[in-house]
A and B are shown apart, each in its own frame.
Chain A
Amino acid sequence: MGSRSDAESPYQPDQLTDGLLKTFTRSGCLIALRTKAEATLLNDVQTTEAYITEIPLKSASAVLKTVDSAIREFEPINLNHLRRLVKPEHLPSHLQKDEDKERPKSWGDIVVDPPRSTGVGATDHVTGFNGQPPILHFLACATSVISHEHLQSLLSIALPSLASSLGPCVRIIKVPLNSPTSHDQAEEFSRHYWPTVYKGGNPFGPHPSVFARATEEIQHQAGDYMGLAMRAGRATSSEGKGEPIGAVIVDRSCSKGPTVVVVAGDARWNNIVTPEGSGSGNVMAHAVMRAIGMVAKKRLALANDLQAPAMDGEQPNLFNDEPLTPLERDVYSRAVLAPGGYLCLDLELYLTHEPCLMCSMAILHSRFGRVVFGQRMPRTGGLTADNVGGNTSCTGDSAPRSGYGLWWSPGLNWKYLAWSFDDPSQTALSDRDIHV
C-alpha cells in the first residue's frame, strides 16, 4: 500500500466539526442518475410517423377543428406532447431547409392535386400570394390514424380556397411517440423531430422538480461528506482491513442542522480466515452494510435506553458493524440519532463508489431517502442504468455491464433518489471488477 498524502495526518478526536469536513472536502458536481426506463428510452427513442402540412395562419383554427373532429372517431395515438401548429422559424433545421429548396422526389407520391409535386410546392404557393400571408406548419395526426387520402379530403374541406388552386402539400415525418421526461429531452426532440412540449411530470422516474429541490438542498455539503467518506475508506484500507471505499450517513432532520451519524470504511479483509487478496473477501463487510449495521446498533441502544450500545457478546461478528478506526469510533460515540426513527428512513448516504447490487438493495431495505456516490462501477454497480442496451463492442470492452438502476424500480416497494458526484480527483479503484 503506497502512502497517501492526506491519509497520513493522524485523525484527531473531537475534530469532527465543520473544520474537519472542510479540510477534506471534495469539489465536484452532483449528477442526478437516470432511471432504467429513462436510460432505455434515451438509447432507443420510440418514434411513429405523422402527417404535417403548411396552412395559412388565418385558417389554422378551422383546419385544426375539422381534422380533430374527424379523427376523434378513430383509434387515437396520443401525441399531446407535440405542438400542433408551428411557426416556420420554430421548425427543426432539417425540416426548415426543405422550405428553401426543392422537395425531394420521395414526397412526390403524397403531394396531390395539382400534380406539381416535383416543383417548388408550397414555397411557391406561399410566395404566390402577393401579401405573403403568414403560414403555420400543422401536425395533423399519426399516419396510422387515417389514410393520406382521407387527410387530404379533410384539408380540402377546411381550406376550400386552396383546394381549388393548389392543394396543401402533406408530408410524413418521424415524431417521438412518448412524452419527454424533462425540458432537456423536449429540446432534443424539438431539434431532431418536431417542436415538443415538456408538460412536467415524469412517468419514467422521479419528477424533475423533486430532484431539483433535493439537489439544491444537498449540494453545498455534498463535497464535505464525499471527502469524509474517502477518508473513512482510507482509514480501514491503510490498516489492511479493506479496500479504500467509504460511506457516510447524514441525518438532515437534526435540530442543529445536517449531522454525520455514522462513517464506515470497507472491511472485507478484516478478521477473515484467509489473507487479503483472494476472492471477494467478506462481502457482508462492504462499507454500506457496515454503516447500516452501525445505525441499527445505535437505534437498538436508544430503544433499550443504554448508554453504550450493547455488543453481541460471544456471537461471532463478521458483520463488522462496530467502529473499527479512530474516525469511525469518534463519530459513532458522539453522534446522536433522533429517537423513534425507523431503520434508515429519511437518512442520506454518501459513498466513494457506486454500491454493488447487494448494497443497493440493502439501501432500499433500509429505506434511505438519498444516495450520492463518487466513482461509477459499470460492471458491478447496482444504481446506474446507463449501460442498458449499450453497445460495449465500440469500446473494445466485452465485460458484462450491470445497469440495474435499482434506486428507482417500479416493481419494488421503495424508491430513493441517487446522484453521482463527479469529482476528477477521486480515488479510482484500479480493479474494475470489484464489488463495492
Chain B
Amino acid sequence: MEIDEKAMESDKDALTLQDQTHQQYMRAALEMAEQALASDEVPVGCVLVNHGQIIGKGMNDTNRSLNGTRHAEFLAINSILSKHPPSIFSETDLYVTVEPCIMCASALRQFQIRAVYFGCSNDRFGGTGGVLSIHSDPGVDKPHPVYGGLFREEAIMLLRRFYVQENEKAPEPKPKKDRQLNTEVLPLSR
C-alpha cells in the first residue's frame, strides 16, 4: 500500500516536471508570438528544442517580407540550418503557439521532426488535425506524434488582440474603435 502510494507520488512528480518543461518551452514560443504582435505580424511564435536546448526561435514574418510562406516555423528552421545539418530535426521537438498549417506540417514531416506541441488548433489551414493530418497520414516519411492544447487560451488571446486592431493596409480599412476584446475562451469540447 505504502509502496503503491510512493510509486504514484513519484509518477506525479515526473509528470509535473515534464509538464513544467513543456510549459517553459511554450512560454518561450508565446514570447515570440508577442514579438510578432509588436511587429504587426499575425502573432504566432515557435521554438525548436533539441536535447533540452532551444536551438531556434521564430515568429511570423509574412507582412514584413511580403512573402506568404514566411511562417514562424520556417524562420526558426532557417536559423537552425545555418549551424546544424538537417538531420538534427529527427531529435528535435517543435513548440508552436498555433497548430502548424498544411505547408509547415508537410515541411516538418519531410524534415523528420520528432514531435510537435501546439497551443490552439487551426481550423482554416491546420495540417496536424485541423484540416489535414499530415503528421500521421500514410506517406514516404516517418510519421510523428502531435500534442495540442498547451496554453491554448493564451495563444487564442494573442490572435484576438491582433485581429481587434485596425488594418491600415486593407483596401478599405474597417473602423474597429467600438470593438471590444473578447476575453472569454470557450473550453474544448471533446
Contact = CB atoms under 8 A, between A and B. Distances in A.
Interface of A: 272-274, 278-284, 289, 292-293, 296, 299-300, 303, 316-319, 321, 343-344, 356-359, 361-362, 364-367, 379-380, 382, 399-402, 404, 406, 409, 411-413, 433, 435
Contacts of A366: 67-69
Given A282-B81, A382-B106, A300 B66 contact: yes
Given A296-B67, A380-B140, A284 B107 contact: yes
Contacts of A293: 67, 69
Interface string B87-107: 100000000000001111011
Interface of B: 65-70, 74, 77-79, 81-87, 101-104, 106-107, 110-112, 124-125, 127, 131-132, 134, 137-141
Contacts of A362: 68-69, 103
B81 A318 contact: yes
Given A303-B66, A316-B79, A273 B85 contact: yes
17 contacts: A272-B86, A273-B84, A274-B86, A283-B107, A296-B67, A296-B70, A316-B78, A321-B67, A343-B66, A343-B68, A358-B102, A358-B110, A361-B125, A364-B103, A366-B69, A382-B106, A406-B102
Given A284-B74, A412-B125, A361 B82 contact: no
B112 A279 contact: yes
Given A283-B111, A292-B69, A293-B67, A272 B81 contact: yes
A435 B110 contact: yes
Contacts of B107: 283-284, 358
Nearest to B82: A316
B68 A433 contact: no
A359 B79 CA distance: 20
B86 A365 contact: no
Given A319-B78, A358-B103, A362-B103, A279 B68 contact: no
B74 A319 contact: yes
B87 A365 contact: no
Given A272-B86, A413-B124, A284 B78 contact: yes
A361 B85 contact: no
B69 A280 contact: no
Contacts of B79: 316
A406 B131 CA distance: 11
B78 A281 contact: no
A317 B78 CA distance: 7
A289 B77 CA distance: 14
Contact of A284 (B77, B101, B112): B77
A272 B112 CA distance: 16
Nearest to A362: B69
Nearest to A280: B110
Contacts of A279: 86-87, 112
A361 B73 CA distance: 15
A366 B68 CA distance: 5
Max chain A C-beta neighbours (<10 A), residue from B70, B84, B124? B70
Given A343-B66, A399-B140, A282 B86 contact: yes
A293 B69 CA distance: 8
A344 to B, nearest CB: 8
A282 B81 CA distance: 8
Given A284-B107, A318-B77, A401-B138, 9 more contacts: A272-B86, A273-B85, A280-B111, A283-B110, A303-B66, A343-B66, A357-B102, A412-B124, A412-B131
Nearest to A296: B67
Max chain B C-beta neighbours (<10 A), residue from A272, A281, A283, A303? A283
Given A280-B110, A400-B138, A404-B132, A292 B82 contact: no
Contacts of A409: 131
A283 B140 CA distance: 14
A367 B66 CA distance: 12
Contacts of A358: 102-104, 106-107, 110
* 3 nearest CB pairs, A to B: A316-B82, A400-B138, A296-B67
Contact of A361 (B83, B86, B102, B138): B102
Contacts of A400: 137-140
A373 to B, nearest CB: 16
Contacts of A281: 86
B81 A365 contact: no
A296 B87 CA distance: 28
B131 A357 contact: no
Contacts of B141: 280
Max chain B C-beta neighbours (<10 A), residue from A280, A366, A399? A280
A245 to B, nearest CB: 14
A97 to B, nearest CB: 44
A51 B86 CA distance: 63
A68 to B, nearest CB: 43
A413 B131 CA distance: 12
A317 B77 CA distance: 10
A379 B110 CA distance: 13
Contacts of A289: 69
A401 B137 CA distance: 10
